[in-house]
Structure 1
C-alpha cells in the first residue's frame, strides 16, 4: 500500500506543513506546481529531497488560484484548463530531472479533484493533458469517479486513492470541508479508517454505511494539524496490519 501526502504547498516566505518530516514517512509526494500553491524554489527543494529519499514525486495540479488555495471551483475554458494542467506537469518535470528523477504520476488538487470526479468536461481536460504529456503517467484519483472512468477509457493507468483523514458520503465522494466531520483529527480514528480502506477496501460514512473503496494509495493531508504524527501513526498501522508500505509507481 502506498502512503501519499500533499507537499510543497507553501509560497515564498509563507510555509505550510513540515515537508521534510513528511518526506521521511510517505512513499509518494504530491508536489504543488505553483498554481494553487508552491513556487519554483520550493518545487526544486522538494524534488531534490524526495529523489534522495526514494519518494515518488507526483504532479499535484490545480486551478490557477493562489488566493483560494485551489479550493474554489472555477468554470474554466476547457482547452485552457488542459493547457494549465500540461504546464504544471512540465514545470515539475524540470525540477525532477535536475534532481535525477522524474514525475511519476498526476493528481488533481482541491476543487479540481472534486470537480473532475463528477464533471466530464473538466475530467476530460485533465485526461487530455496527461495523454498529451506522457501516456505512461498514472492518474491518482477517487475510484469510481468520472475522472477514473475517462482516464481508463483513454488507456491511462488509474490508481484508486483513499483519504484517511476525510469524511465520506454514501456515494463515495468526499464531504465538503464546510460540513462537520469533513476533516478527521483523532489519530486512532484516522489509523483505523486507513487500515480498513487498505485491508477491507471499504470506508464508513458518519451514518455507519460501508462504502466500497478499492484503493492502492492512502492520503494524509500535509496541512492537517499534527500531520507528521498522524502520517507516522498511519504508516505504523498499515505495517502492523501486515501491509508493505511502498510507492505504487516503479
Structure 2
C-alpha cells in the first residue's frame, strides 16, 4: 500500500510552568511536523504554554489538535485513573474547550482531538467511553478528526457515529501481535535510523514487525512520535529525510484525507 504523502503528528506543549519533559524544545520540532497534539493542562500544559504553542502552530501552518489526558500531572497522564465514563468525558470536554478557545483567539480552527497516554489506551478498549466521547464530538466538533489506533474501540465508535477518524502509526513505540502499541512510561533513547526504516517500510508496505518478530499489517494515515522521547529532534529529522528519499511527502492530514474526511470547522 505504497503512498505518496503522509501526515506527521507530535505531542506538544508537554511542560508545566518551569518544568519540561524531554530534551528538545517545541520550537525546534514544530517546523518539522504537520499536526500538533497540544497538551490541555491535566497531564501537562498550562494557560501560558497552550497560548504559546497554539500561536507557534498557527505561524507555521501546523494543524492544531487538543490532547486531553487523565488529571495526572505527577504521572504525566500515563497512570490510569478510575472514573465513570461520564466523569472522564467531562474531563475531556473541559480540556478540549480550553484548547479550542486558544485556537479561536489566534484565528485558527481545531483540526483534531487525540486523547493522551493512559486515557488513549483506555479508550482503545472501552467501547462505552469511546461511544459517549463520539456523542460529544458529534455535537461540539462534528468535522474535527479523532486520532486513534486502527482496530480500536475508538475507531469503531467514530465510524459508527460518522465522526472523521485518522489512524496512527507509532514511530517511537513497539507493537504487539494484536496491532496495539506496547504501552511504556519510559521509551529510553531509540535509534533514529531504526525508526526511520520502520516508518518507510510501513508507508511502502503497510507492515510493522512486532516485539515477537512477526510482521503484521497496520493501516494508518498519520505517523506519531513523541516530543518527550529522548532524541526527538534526531528522530523527526532522520524520519523526514528517509521519507523524502522514498518520494513520500509530508502533508497536512486535511489534504491527505480530503477525499474521504471532511475538513474541520
Does the alignment reach a TM-score above 0.5? yes
* Cα distance in 1, alignment partners of residues 188 and 240 from structure 2: 19
Q: CA separation in 2, counterparts of 1:184 and 1:135?
A: 38
Secondary structure at 1:130 match in 2: helix
Aligned to 2:164: 157
Give unpaired runs (5+ residues) of structure 1.
Answer: none
Q: Which moved more, 1:83-92 or 1:148-157?
A: 83-92
- The CA distance in 1 between the partners of 2:106 and 2:57, in whole Å, is 9
Task: Tell me what 1:222 maps to.
Answer: 227
Partner of 2:260: none
Tell me whether 1:47 sits opposite 2:60 in the alignment: no
Count of aligned positions: 248
Q: In structure 1, how many angstroms separate the alpha carbons of the residues matched to 2:203 and 2:148?
A: 15
Gaps of 5+ in 2: 1-5, 256-265
Q: Using the alignment, how far apart are the partners of 2:152 and 2:109 within structure 1?
A: 27
Query: What corresponds to 1:122 in structure 2?
Result: 129
Q: How does 1:106-145 map to 2 (within 5 A)?
A: 106-145=113-152
Q: Which position in structure 2 is the counterpart of 1:202?
A: 207
What is the CA–CA distance in structure 2 between the aligned matches of 1:170 and 1:183, rounded to whole Å?
A: 22
2:252 corresponds to 1:247:
yes
Once residues 112 and 132 of structure 1 are traced to their aligned partners in structure 2, the CA distance between those partners, rounded to angstroms, is 21
Deviation at 1:208, TM superposition (A): 2.0
In the aligned structure 2, how far is the partner of 1:128 from the partner of 1:67? 30
- Runs ≥4 in structure 1, deviation > 4 angstroms? none
CA distance in 2, matches of 1:107, 1:239: 26
Displacement of 1:178 in angstroms is 6.3
Q: In the alignment, which of 224, 231, 239 is matched to residue 234 of structure 1?
A: 239
Preserved CA contact (<8 Å) 1:82 1:128:
no
- Give distance in 1, aligned partners of 2:101 and 2:234: 31
2:36 matches 1:29: yes
Contact 1:166 1:183 (C-alpha < 8 Å) held by counterparts:
no
Q: 1:62–1:70: 8 Å Cα contact kept in structure 2?
A: yes
Give, in whole Å, the separation in 1 of the partners of 2:188 and 2:251: 25
Q: Measure how far apart 1:147 and its partner are.
A: 0.6
Please give the per-residue CA displacement for 1:124-173, whole angstroms capped at 9, x wherever unaligned. 24323322311111101101111100111010111110111101000011
Q: C-alpha separation between the residues in 2 aligned to 1:209 and 1:112?
A: 27
Over the aligned positions, Cα root-mean-square deviation in angstroms equals: 1.5
Q: TM-score with structure 1 length normalisation?
A: 0.95
